[in-house]
């Protein structure tokens, strides 16, 4: 996401506002002087005036030439040979998977794939930060292009304002193409300023590409929750994410490549040069090379990750990856699929026609979750179930299955207003018998179960569902209205008791000690139980929430439709 200087509503001074809640951060920046970084959609209080002011201020080019391209064949590359060797003896329909829970190992995997790619690199990300990690990977992509590797990079446009010169410079190098998904008419300035200058096209720009995908030589892919930025790989001194990716080999990679092509060739994907000011290629390349010259070189990696595995770079060098074989189904939204929402008097721009909407990734996930018989485990940084989600949870609870939820506390979240939307449902979920835990921003540092946070705050960003100990869903989608109805998402639905067991190891008692346990106390009031390593303490007031923030969020929630959270 863009680098904001305004403090977050939680009181954090983190200049890197996390990327998943795009319009929230934009709204926070817009009205920071008035209400200390309140919300992405606070501007909608003044929609008629803002639209009038914005109309005619910015516009996209009238036409653009898009040269179509498709994924290159995987056969014959060294990475394909390693993938085949790693899956030797497995049925041809099974996909090989390896979880990447550690930030250093997740970055190592990406760098190793870029360095070993021989034919193609296809990357698709919601947010790419202009920081050490972002520049390191951009430099690696340039180097791959210089070796003759075809590089296609697709980035959602919302957070590319400051990054556009770098993206244009990368695209000026040989064998590299860069496209921006669903560009905003306003091309310069902060996210908030660009959104404000594009409000006349709000119905379109509200639709963002939230996917995260990295494919090397059509043979190996990385997908999951991580965007590209320091805090996704435990490199930020201020706040770092508990996150999760998966490395994949086999049939699902072919499906991912086809999905990438669909996005790449979509009319919503614009070549970066069609949106940037004209400039000579040599000058763009020189500016890019100078900008990334000081980027980090290499990556320090712990010998083993949290599951006891050596790094992907080490295993690639040995010629074999440690993979679990399982049937995998790819759930992905169409790039041009418009979500539908019921009309809302508070937000007339939120409603879009429902008639043509095709089923989405989250719809399919909810259908799978509804089939749970014994145990449903949900990990989601943003959890606003809405009416459909509550009906699904009720059906699972009525069947006698246990339901466990891990999400962010108000102190850990980067989106207080989204947390407020979740908080509305907490009493009802606890009455269903759900076991709810909320990640603390400080307790994980005491356990080291998620890695070493140092002095940085902890925030949950992983998105995982485990059903009945064998069905697993992981990917980019949160459990909220924005993922279900507005953004595009990608998920892997896996049937693997072994993978579910690995996830259970990651969610150990030691790891969960970094979270608050919720319960209903006297008078049906929520209580938060915290384990500080010595004893469990009971808190009757929500940790991290003061009266001023409670008042602000309560007032703002009157104006924001839950479907937009």
Cα(72)–Cα(121) distance, integer angstroms: 9
DSSP-derived 3-state class of residue 331: strand
Cα(34)–Cα(38) distance, integer angstroms: 9
Cα(77)–Cα(331) distance, integer angstroms: 27
**Total residues belonging to the chain:** 565
Cα(556)–Cα(416) distance, integer angstroms: 11
The H-or-E segment that residue 377 falls in is strand 375-379
Which of 29, 173, 212, 425 is labelled catalytic? 212
Beta strands 212-216; 176-181: pairing state: unpaired
Which of 29, 105, 463, 552 is labelled catalytic? 463
**210 is an active site residue:** yes
**461 is an active site residue:** yes
Which of 363, 388, 468, 495 is labelled catalytic? 468
Cα(16)–Cα(2) distance, integer angstroms: 7
Residue 377's nearest CA partner among 284, 310, 474, 290 is 474
**222 to 226, 356, 379: CA distances (angstroms):** 10, 31, 19
Beta strands 515-520; 435-439: pairing state: antiparallel
Strand partners, 326: 95
**336 is an active site residue:** no
Radius of gyration of the chain (CA): 22
Q: Which position has the token pair 């790891």?
A: 511
Which of 29, 105, 210, 552 is labelled catalytic? 210
Cα(443)–Cα(516) distance, integer angstroms: 9
Beta strands 150-156; 176-181: pairing state: parallel
**212 is an active site residue:** yes
Q: Tokens for 344?
A: 């809302």
Residue 125's nearest CA partner among 22, 194, 250 is 22
DSSP-derived 3-state class of residue 209: strand
Which of 217, 230, 245, 255 is labelled catalytic? 217
Which of 201, 461, 480, 552 is labelled catalytic? 461
* Catalytic annotation, residues: 210, 212, 217, 461, 463, 468
């Amino acid at each position: 996401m863009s680098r904001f200087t305004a403090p977050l509503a939680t009181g954090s001074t983190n200049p890197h506002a996390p990327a998943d809640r795009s319009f929230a951060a934009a709204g926070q920046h817009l009205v920071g002087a008035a209400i200390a970084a309140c919300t992405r959609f606070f501007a909608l209080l003044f929609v008629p005036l803002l639209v009038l002011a914005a109309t005619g201020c910015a516009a996209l080019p009238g036409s653009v030439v898009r040269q179509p391209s498709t994924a290159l064949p995987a056969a014959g590359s060294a990475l394909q040979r390693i993938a085949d060797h790693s899956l030797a003896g497995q049925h041809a329909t099974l996909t090989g998977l390896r979880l990447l829970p550690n930030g250093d190992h997740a970055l190592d995997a990406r760098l190793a794939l870029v360095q070993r790619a021989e034919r193609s690199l296809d990357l698709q990300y919601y947010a790419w930060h202009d920081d050490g990690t972002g520049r390191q990977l951009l430099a690696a992509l340039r180097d791959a292009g210089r070796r003759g590797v075809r590089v296609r990079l697709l980035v959602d446009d919302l957070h590319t304002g400051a990054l556009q010169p770098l993206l244009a410079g990368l695209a000026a190098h040989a064998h590299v193409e860069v496209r921006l998904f669903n560009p905003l008419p306003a091309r310069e300035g902060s996210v908030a300023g660009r959104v404000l200058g594009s409000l006349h096209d709000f119905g379109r720009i509200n639709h963002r590409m939230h996917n995260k995908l990295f494919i090397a030589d059509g043979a190996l892919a990385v997908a999951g929750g991580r965007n590209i930025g320091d805090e996704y790989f435990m490199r930020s001194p201020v706040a770092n994410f508990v996150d999760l990716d998966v490395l994949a080999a086999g049939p699902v990679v072919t499906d991912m490549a086809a999905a990438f092509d669909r996005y790449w060739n979509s009319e919503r994907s614009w070549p970066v040069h069609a949106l940037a000011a004209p400039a000579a290629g040599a000058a763009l390349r020189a500016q890019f090379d100078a900008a990334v010259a000081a980027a980090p070189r290499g990556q320090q990696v712990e010998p083993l990750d949290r599951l006891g595995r050596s790094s992907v770079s080490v295993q690639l060098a040995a010629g074999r990856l440690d993979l679990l074989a399982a049937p995998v189904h790819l759930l992905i939204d169409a790039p041009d699929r418009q979500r539908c929402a019921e009309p809302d008097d508070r937000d007339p721009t939120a409603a879009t026609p429902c008639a043509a909407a095709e089923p989405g990734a989250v719809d399919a996930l909810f259908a799978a979750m509804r089939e749970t018989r014994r145990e449903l485990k949900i990990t989601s940084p943003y959890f606003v179930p809405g009416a459909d989600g509550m009906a699904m949870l009720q059906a699972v609870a009525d069947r006698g299955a246990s339901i466990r939820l891990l999400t962010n506390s108000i102190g850990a979240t980067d989106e207080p207003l989204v947390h407020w939307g979740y908080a509305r449902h907490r009493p009802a979920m606890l009455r269903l018998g759900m076991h709810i835990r909320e990640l603390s921003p400080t307790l994980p540092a005491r356990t080291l179960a998620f890695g070493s946070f140092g002095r940085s705050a902890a925030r949950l960003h992983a998105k995982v569902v485990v059903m009945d100990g064998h069905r697993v869903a992981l990917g980019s989608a949160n459990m909220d209205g924005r993922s279900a109805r507005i953004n595009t998402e990608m998920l892997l639905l896996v049937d693997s008791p072994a993978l579910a067991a690995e996830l259970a190891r990651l969610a150990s008692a030691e790891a969960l000690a970094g979270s608050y346990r919720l319960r209903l106390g006297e008078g049906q009031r929520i209580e938060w139980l915290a384990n500080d390593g010595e004893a469990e303490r009971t808190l009757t007031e929500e940790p991290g929430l003061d009266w001023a923030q409670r008042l602000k969020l309560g007032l703002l929630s009157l104006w924001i439709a839950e479907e937009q959270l």
